[in-house]
Amino acid sequence: MWQIFHKLGSPKWFFGIATRLMPWLLAGGVLLMMAGIVWGLGFAPKDYLQGNSYRIIFIHVPTAFLAQSVYIMMAVAAVVTLVWRMKLADVFVKAVAPVGLVLTFLALFTGAVWGKPTWGTWWIWDARLTSMLILLFLYGGVIALDRAINDEKSAARAVAVLVLVGVVNIPIIKYSVEWWNTLHQPATFKLTEKPTMPAEMWVPLLLSVLGLYLVFGWLACLRMQTEILVREQRTRWVREHVMAGRT
């Protein structure tokens, strides 16, 4: 068990695994997303209440879902950084924070554009929207804090603490539609219940969520590899890898 743990923490080992996984993640992710989006845009039936504007859901829900899910993954990595001082966990946090920022922005943007024809307004300071905006600032804060501290180890610890403090926002986002009266509709998918939508609507949505997960996996591997190369450039294996041209 400890051996596996140490292996997982080894940047060199991760680098090799990531190189092998990445083509599959990218191909699978793009295929699933395309299938979900084409199905959702052209073939899924119209919503009886919202009309065709609901088709934004096929990118709004995946980006919003990933935005929160990436933050939870970062929080787990932050615990690992603080407790076990595993380098790879910190590499993960730094590599994916900008991805989380972009996904959160996209969720807010697509939500605002969807809100205009559906609610009649681009923005309203209600619980779901405001807590999502806080998530955007949290991602921005993590990136800024990391850049502000030069020493790698202190930066890792400070960022991990900030990520953990911010994690309180995640249940607020999730339950905001239930705790408060908001304009936002309740969750589309629940683990405990069957979706309230017909299958022709939720199957493409599920495909695009899974697809975006895989694309995120590809991005995470790629960006972690970059971060590892920067940090480990003085080691022999990086030198050998770069000079061998197996890039």
Partner 1 sequence: MAFESLAAFLSMDGHGPYVWTCYGAFFVLMAVMMVWSVRRRRAVIESCRRRYESLESRDVGATTRAAATFTRVNVSQD
* List of residues contacting partner 1 (CB under 8 A): 37, 41-46, 51-53, 55-56, 59-60, 63, 98-99, 102, 105-106, 109-110, 113-114, 116-117, 215, 219, 222-223, 225-226, 229-230, 233, 238-239, 242-243, 247
Task: Closer to partner 1 by CB, 16 or 117: give it.
Answer: 117
Give me the amino acid identity at 219.
L
Task: Closer to partner 1 by CB, 80 or 94: give it.
Answer: 94
What's the rounded Cα separation, in Å, for the pair 26 and 70? 17
Instruction: Tell me the closest approach of the beta carbon of residue 142 to partner 1, in angstroms.
Output: 17
Instruction: Tell me the closest approach of the beta carbon of residue 41 to partner 1, in angstroms.
Output: 8
Instruction: Tell me the closest approach of the beta carbon of residue 13 to partner 1, in angstroms.
Output: 18
- For residue 112, CA distances in Å to 52, 102, 148 come to 16, 15, 32
Task: Closer to partner 1 by CB, 78 or 238: give it.
Answer: 238
Task: Closer to partner 1 by CB, 80 or 115: give it.
Answer: 115
Residues of 150-178 as b/e, b for ≥16 C-beta within 10 angstroms?
Answer: eeeeebbbbbbebbbebbebbebbeebbe
Instruction: Tell me the closest approach of the beta carbon of residue 42 to partner 1, in angstroms.
Output: 6
Exposure on the CB side of residue 105, measured as CA atoms within 13 A: 9
Task: Closer to partner 1 by CB, 80 or 128: give it.
Answer: 128
Instruction: Tell me the closest approach of the beta carbon of residue 53 to partner 1, in angstroms.
Output: 4
Q: End-to-end CA distance of the chain, in Å?
A: 31
